[in-house]
Amino acid sequence: MGLAKGQTTQGDIRLDRRRDAIVNGIVATGSLVRRKVGGDRNGEIAMKNFLGSPKATVESVMAADVALTAAAAKGRRVVAAQDTTEVNFSGRDKRRKDLGPGGDGKSPGFFTHATIAIDADAEAVIGPVSAQIWTRAMEREVEYAKLPFEDKESARWLKGAESAAEVLDGAEQIVVVGECAQVAQRAVARR
């Protein structure tokens, strides 16, 4: 990963460099733990400050890599694979804030739904397309079944497919792979 020459994520070279240092640290260590990724106390604090910055949104942090994915996908047959994973802090939730109930309804955590582009012929990852990150509310204020589709968690599948269509529009062919039947129904209904 990393920025291509002339590309920025934040419009601020310091933030771009910090972002690259974090991504390189994650790749080098295979960890998401700030202390390991940062390398030392200064790196850990810099990572915390970057991730706490209002400029560090999911979209802005991914923007440069998504642009590289779009360029690399041009003219290719692409599979846009998407899936959701839970980050669960059961037993490690002391001092952690802004978490909601995980998949079991009790353990604190959050969810991320990623879409990546894969070259169908070479069977190689091209790059990231999109990511959505959310926490569940502690108590559901409304009956979930009565919510409009756009307000349900299952809408992530449609958002992933729409992101793939937008980012990979220069591809020869796009095949979106996911688990949600509602997305297929919505996509067919929109035609």
Q: Are 34 and 116 in a shared domain?
A: no
The CATH number of the domain where 149 resides is what?
A: 3.90.350.10
Q: Are 38 and 86 in a shared domain?
A: no
pLDDT at residue 187, rounded to an integer:
52
In a domain, 62, yes or no: no
For the chain, what is the domain count? 2
Q: Are 85 and 156 in a shared domain?
A: yes
Q: Are 92 and 144 in a shared domain?
A: yes
CA 5, CA 15: separation in Å to the nearest integer?
A: 15
Q: Are 26 and 75 in a shared domain?
A: no
In a domain, 66, yes or no: no
In a domain, 78, yes or no: yes
Q: Are 125 and 157 in a shared domain?
A: yes
Q: Are 118 and 143 in a shared domain?
A: yes
In a domain, 109, yes or no: yes
Plot region of 65 (φ>0 → left; ψ -120 to 50 → alpha; else → beta): alpha
Q: Are 52 and 87 in a shared domain?
A: no
pLDDT at residue 3, rounded to an integer:
46
- Residuewise pLDDT in 10s, the chain (191 residues): 444 444 555 567 888 888 888 989 999 999 888 889 999 999 999 999 998 888 888 888 888 899 999 999 999 999 999 999 988 887 776 677 778 888 887 788 889 999 999 999 999 999 999 999 888 877 666 677 788 888 888 888 889 999 999 999 999 999 999 876 555 555 545 54
CA 86, CA 82: separation in Å to the nearest integer?
A: 14
Residue 42 domain boundaries: 1-56
In a domain, 63, yes or no: no
Q: Are 111 and 137 in a shared domain?
A: yes
Q: Are 77 and 52 in a shared domain?
A: no
Plot region of 98 (φ>0 → left; ψ -120 to 50 → alpha; else → beta): left
pLDDT at residue 1, rounded to an integer:
45
Q: Are 164 and 77 in a shared domain?
A: yes
Q: Are 30 and 86 in a shared domain?
A: no
